[in-house]
Structures are given as C-alpha cells and as structure tokens.
C-alpha cells in the first residue's frame, strides 16, 4: 500500500483471503457522481427495507452474538427520527445509511450498507460525504459510529475517510465485537 492513499483502496474478504483493489480516484469520482444519486427515504420504504434486510442477513452470517448487534430496527429508526438515505446507481438501489442527531453535540451514522455488487466504486464514500454535509448543515461538527470487528471493508472505508478510533460513546458499552469511531467535521 506504500505511496497510495487508503481512501482509494477497496478491500474485501473472500474465502478467508483479503483482497485489495486500487481505484484511480481521478477517473472514478466523476463517473460515480454522474451515475449515482442520493435521496432521502423513509426507513420503511421498499428500497430501504430491502437494503436493511440484506444488511441484517449479512450481519447475521458474521457470527456476532445477539447482544453485540446494535443496529436499530426499522421501527426504532422511525421512532428516533433518524434521517435515512438511499443511493441509487443506474436506477438500482445500491446503498443506504442514516444519521441520528444528538442535538449539536454529535451525529451518529446508522445502518450503513453497500450491496456487494456495488462495492469498490465509491458509493460508501459518497454516502459518508452526504451524511457529513447533512450534519454540518445542522450545526453538528462531530460524526460518530459503531461497527463490527469483522467488517474489514467498512473499517477501511471509515479510516480512509478520516474517522479515528475512540472509546464507546452514548449508550454503548465496551463490547469485544464492536469498534467505535469519530470524525471531526469542523
């Protein structure tokens, strides 16, 4: 990886082998932006429900104990008024994420997921930029998240985007299956 920025690496684990694919950002970003658009969606919309169900199936297959699965249900996303977004790429629902505001103290990324067929083309970074801008526009300058220890591609995305490890925050407690991150947006 020497000499390359981590935000241009797509990382995936397949059959126990870690694969890293480098993407030239100069040629990728204009293409992604022209073919992808982000829309605000209710978490109970058909597009969001399908993506959240796929995320839940993915996490269920990873071996996390139930007490270490912190993702909000659709009902809780609605009840907590989490702003939720879906990325459409060439018309297909490809990714989703939400952001929950805690006053102006911080915002938290919720239920972020990119379908496997759409990974490595920049949609995760596009969504993180969108969530960060959404928070900034509301006076929030700190973005936080929790992710699972087995989500290597997501961890690479977050760290490449500038998130730094931190201790548990909010209602989270120390959990050996969780990692906690934050990024200053100021």
| Look-up of token digits 């911080």 | 106
Q: What is the pLDDT of residue 23?
A: 38
Could you write out the three-class secondary structure of 135-146?
HHHCCCCEEEEE
In the prediction, which pLDDT does 68 show?
95
Query: What's the pLDDT score for residue 29?
Result: 55
Residue 88 is predicted with a pLDDT of: 97
Question: Considering the domain 6-184 in this protein, what is its CATH number?
Answer: 3.40.630.30
3-class secondary structure, 148: strand
What pLDDT digit, counting tens, does each position of 53-94 carry? 999 999 999 999 999 999 999 999 999 999 999 999 999 999
Question: In this predicted structure, what is the pLDDT of residue 34?
Answer: 81
Per-residue pLDDT for 128 more than 60? yes
> Is pLDDT above 60 for 179?
yes
At residue 59, the pLDDT reads 95
pLDDT value, residue 51: 98
Could you give the 3-state DSSP secondary structure of residue 26?
A: helix
Specify the pLDDT at position 162. 98
| Percent of the chain surpassing pLDDT 90 | 81
CB contact at 8 A, 99 and 83: yes
**Mean of per-residue pLDDT scores for the chain:** 87
Could you tell me which of 40, 34, 12, 9 has the C-alpha nearest to residue 22?
9
**Among candidates 13, 38, 25, which has minimal Cα distance to 152?**
13
1-48 pLDDT, tens per residue? 333 333 333 444 444 444 444 333 343 456 676 899 999 999 999 999
Q: Where is pLDDT greater, at 117 or 25?
A: 117
Q: What's the whole-number mean pLDDT along residues 111-120?
A: 96
pLDDT, position 115: 97
């Amino acid at each position: 990886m020497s000499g390359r920025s981590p935000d241009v690496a797509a990382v995936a684990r397949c059959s126990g082998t870690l694969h890293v694919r480098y993407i030239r950002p100069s040629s990728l970003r204009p293409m992604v932006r022209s073919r992808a658009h982000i829309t605000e969606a209710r978490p109970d919309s058909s597009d969001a429900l399908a993506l959240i169900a796929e995320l839940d199936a993915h996490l269920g297959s990873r071996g996390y104990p139930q007490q270490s699965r912190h993702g909000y249900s659709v009902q809780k996303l609605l009840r907590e008024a989490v702003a939720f977004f879906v990325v459409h790429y060439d018309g297909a629902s490809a990714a989703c994420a939400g952001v929950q505001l805690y006053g102006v103290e911080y915002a938290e990324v919720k239920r972020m997921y990119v379908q496997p067929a759409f990974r490595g083309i920049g949609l995760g970074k596009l969504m993180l930029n969108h969530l960060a801008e959404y928070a900034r526009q509301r006076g929030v300058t700190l973005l936080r998240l929790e992710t699972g220890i087995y989500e290597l591609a997501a961890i690479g995305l977050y760290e490449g985007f500038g998130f730094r490890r931190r201790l548990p925050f909010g209602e989270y407690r120390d959990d050996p299956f969780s990692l906690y991150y934050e990024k200053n947006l100021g």
